[in-house]
A and B are shown apart, each in its own frame.
Chain A
Amino acid sequence: MLDAFQLPFIQRAALEIVLLAPLAGILGAQIVLRHLAFFTHGVGVAAFPGLVVAGPLGVPPAVAALGVGGGFAALLERSHRSRRLGADTATALLVVFALALGVILASDVFESGSEVDQLLFGSLLAIGTAELLGTALALTLALAAAAFARRVWIAIAFEPQSGAALGLPVVLADRLLLLTIAVATISALAAVGALLVSAILVIPAATVRLFAPTVLSLELGSAALALLVGLGGLLLSYELDSPPGGTIAVIGGVVFGLALLLRAFGPRLTTGSHRSSRR
């Protein structure tokens, strides 16, 4: 079964997953702790108009997607800060705008349609050097951002109100986090597609969150689980001739379900599951 790793396209796909796994650890932990799952999903879907205009304008798709995704992240960051609208509502409104724009651009302006499939499903088995470089860059950015801001992220996740009072650069750290997630999401688009980005960035962290007693264990565990599920899904999809993105998502979902059952009915040795006495 491991013979598959002799094949160059499997090697590249595996390398992509190896690069994405630390992102799933560093960023996945924050996504789950800060309730940014919808934001993550939204950035991926909102990149659609970028992909549509990339071809006709002669821009590399990843760059166009990054431009749109970055703009999306910046707008959302502003609306979060103004607090005039629920974060989820703001995200939904912007996603809708981007999608509608993309549909009109695709169907009425440029008359192209192939981007849709690419956007939604990605193609892990067609990863090229450019995509790998993009993911490596995203990882570098995430590592640098975490080195600078990780402690602030954790402080905000613990208690959003008092971060600024503690003298922490809350606003800067928040912007950095959203930007980093946007870049990581766009870099994962090529591999698993917009609708399945969560399979790498959210599901492993959500699974580990059920058990992890500390942020560090959450980060390490999420990265390890993402690596396992990613490589496992890759191999299985090769054996079954199924799409790798979907396979990874299904395995991730099943592992999460098992973890949930284990925590509900298994031995009570977990620390993340104190039953709150306040509610």
Chain B
Amino acid sequence: MSAVTVSALEVGYLPGVPVLAELDFVVPEGVVVAVLGPNGGGKTTLFRGLLGEAPHIRGRVELEGPIAYVPQTERARLDFPASALDVALMGTYADTPWYRRSGPRQRRVATSALEQVGLSDLADTRFGLLSGGQRQRVLIARALSRRASTLLLDEPLSGVDQSSGKRILDLFSELAREGRSLFVSTHDIEQARSFDLVLCLNGRQIAFGEPAAVLSPDVIQRTYGGELIRLDDTAQAIVVQHHHH
């Protein structure tokens, strides 16, 4: 079954001026999709388009089940008075009517989400005191308590140390095995090779498919254009200029 079907989609903020065009892809359930592209190439716009927060100029998006966004951890307020469990609970807000208090049912959902990301022992720890990798997992737990079948992750591995990065990658595979589909935006082309599918964006869809087929030097060149600094011809060592936040 396909989790996300996008056909002839154009996303933009002004009529007639698409920021991202020619989007055409089908993502089945249970896969991890790497989203590659230069700064301003449309990765965030793609996510906002899938979430329905950026206007669709034309084309359509079909989603199987709820979709959730997982921001970079430093986008969240570290001084906000909330424990890891409180943050995971935020995922249940959308399904709880405003006049009803969060009860044991919501707590169970949030607790099991924290369990799934391996953080149940830190449930009462203040979010701002967790490490970068732990915070990223809490934010994934929040998306899980949203009961999302599709997760959009904004550079989840940037600023995370290697062992936490490994845990997060393992978590991705586990979530995919459960039938969820994940869109992971990243700057790391080598990492993208280990994912199931790759979507290359640069103002429009450059390529989509399995990494081995898609990630040719030509596609990478067209995706990154001027941002690319190639160290040698084998495309094994590629430096993409990072942007700061």
Contacts and interface: CB of A to CB of B under 8 A. Distances in A.
- B and A form one assembly: yes
B244 A277 contact: no
A81 interface: no
B44 A275 contact: no
Nearest to A162: B244
Contacts of A277: 19, 40, 42, 44-45
B13 A279 contact: no
A279 B44 contact: yes
A241 interface: no
Contacts of A279: 44
Interface in B29-75: 40, 42, 44-45
Nearest to A279: B44
Contacts, number: 12
A108 interface: no
A159 to B, nearest CB: 7
A159 B44 contact: no
A279 B13 CA distance: 11
B13 A278 contact: no
Interface string A240-279: 0000000000000000000000000000000000010111
Nearest to B45: A277
Contacts of B13: 275
B169 to A, nearest CB: 25
Contacts of B79: 86
A112 to B, nearest CB: 42
B244 A159 contact: yes
Contacts of B244: 159
B71 to A, nearest CB: 11
Contacts of B14: 275
A277 B49 CA distance: 12
A199 to B, nearest CB: 33
A277 B38 CA distance: 12
A269 to B, nearest CB: 15
A227 B44 CA distance: 43
B181 to A, nearest CB: 24
Contacts of A159: 244
B45 to A, nearest CB: 6
B14 to A, nearest CB: 8
B245 to A, nearest CB: 9
12 contacts: A86-B79, A159-B244, A275-B13, A275-B14, A277-B19, A277-B40, A277-B42, A277-B44, A277-B45, A278-B40, A278-B44, A279-B44
Given A275-B13, A277-B19, A278-B40, 8 more contacts: A86-B79, A159-B244, A275-B14, A277-B40, A277-B44, A277-B45, A278-B44, A279-B44
